[in-house]
Amino acid sequence: MRTSLGIVGAVALAAMASSGFAASVDITGRHTLSQTDTIGVLANGAWGFRDFSTGSGNNRISGRVEYANAVFNGRQRMGLTLTQFNFVGDGATTQTVTINLVQDFAIAGENVGRAFAAQTVQGRVNFGSAGQLAQGTIISAHEGTNLPLVGFNAGGVLSNGAISSAISRSSGGSDVTVIGNVYRIAVQYTFTINANGGIVSIELPQSLGDVATLVLVPLPPAGWAGLAGLGLVGFAAHRRKQRNRVAQ
């Protein structure tokens, strides 16, 4: 069993409750697979992952979807990523797969109405010979706001030999308007390969994916003592009302 998860380690280090809930995964194209989200909204303090795999031999796709929701020092962080990913193909046919991920996250409390969102994709392409193709495009939407497009080899440049080429792309940061008490991240990954008679692969072994940060509105001074303190404040107000009724 893994002792650390990419997005879970980055986002939910302090989360105390785990979850078997999964983000919805829908794969189309050269390989097809659908795993439906069964819970909808991921609660604060929850995290988890789902593995997927289809195909075989030198024509296969596999990976892991990780998701987490946690609060640190008045800031809530939510993450969704595609990681431990492999897309392998052989032959001379162009192959394309599209992976759609969607997850809703419960907002832990009142927030300032804005979130800071970013995406980081890290991995590599493994070419076996010259004349091979590998391309990728990632479209990410937070609360319906599109983050800057992330991709690699948009021009479709072919490999010039057997080589492993690094992928390191980031959307930077985007200001997102938060709507309601649920935050949605939806991401579409599209990858295309052509092995030109050999074998080629795209790997995202430990990608960071999408992370959103919300600033939560601080509690009023009475709340600094915690929930018990708030309870005492309420009890004191009740007693004052009782005394006023007697005095009248």
Q: Which positions ≥6 away from 187 have C-beta within 8 Å? A: 80, 82, 100, 101, 102, 119, 138, 139, 140, 141, 209, 210
Domain shared by 235 and 158, yes or no: no
Domain shared by 71 and 135, yes or no: yes
pLDDT surpasses 50 at 229? no
Instruction: Look at residue 245 and tell me if it is in a domain.
Output: yes
Q: How many structural domains does the chain have?
A: 2
Domain shared by 121 and 109, yes or no: yes
Amino acid identity, position 28: T
Predicted confidence band at 16 (pLDDT cuts at 50, 70, 90)? Answer: very low
Give the residue, 14 or 111, on which the prediction is more confident: 111
Instruction: Please tell me the distance from the alpha carbon of residue 3 to that of residue 137, in angstroms, as a whole number.
Output: 30
CB-CB contact of 15 with 70 (8 Å): yes
pTM of the model: 0.80
Predicted confidence band at 183 (pLDDT cuts at 50, 70, 90)? Answer: very high
pLDDT at 124: 97
pLDDT surpasses 90 at 81? yes
Domain shared by 102 and 138, yes or no: yes
Predicted confidence band at 235 (pLDDT cuts at 50, 70, 90)? Answer: very low
Where in 171-239 does DSSP place strands (E)? 174-177, 182-194, 198-204, 209-216
Instruction: Look at residue 111 and tell me if it is in a domain.
Output: yes
Domain shared by 130 and 224, yes or no: no
Domain that holds residue 101: 6-217
Instruction: Look at residue 116 and tell me if it is in a domain.
Output: yes
pLDDT at 35: 80
Instruction: Please tell me the distance from the alpha carbon of residue 71 to that of residue 14, in angstroms, as a whole number.
Output: 8
pLDDT surpasses 90 at 109? no
Domain shared by 186 and 225, yes or no: no
Domain shared by 232 and 199, yes or no: no
pLDDT surpasses 80 at 94? yes
Amino acid identity, position 24: S
Percent of the chain with pLDDT over 90: 66
Domain shared by 13 and 62, yes or no: yes
Domain shared by 126 and 231, yes or no: no
Domain shared by 33 and 96, yes or no: yes
pLDDT at 224: 36
pLDDT digits (tens, 9 = 90+) for 45-55: 998 888 999 99
Give the C-alpha distances (Å, rounded to integers) separating 48 from 86, 108, 135.
Answer: 20, 18, 29
Domain shared by 193 and 241, yes or no: no
Instruction: Look at residue 210 and tell me if it is in a domain.
Output: yes
Tell me what the mean pLDDT of segment 174-181 comes to. 92
Instruction: Look at residue 1 and tell me if it is in a domain.
Output: no
Domain shared by 110 and 205, yes or no: yes
Instruction: Look at residue 134 and tell me if it is in a domain.
Output: yes
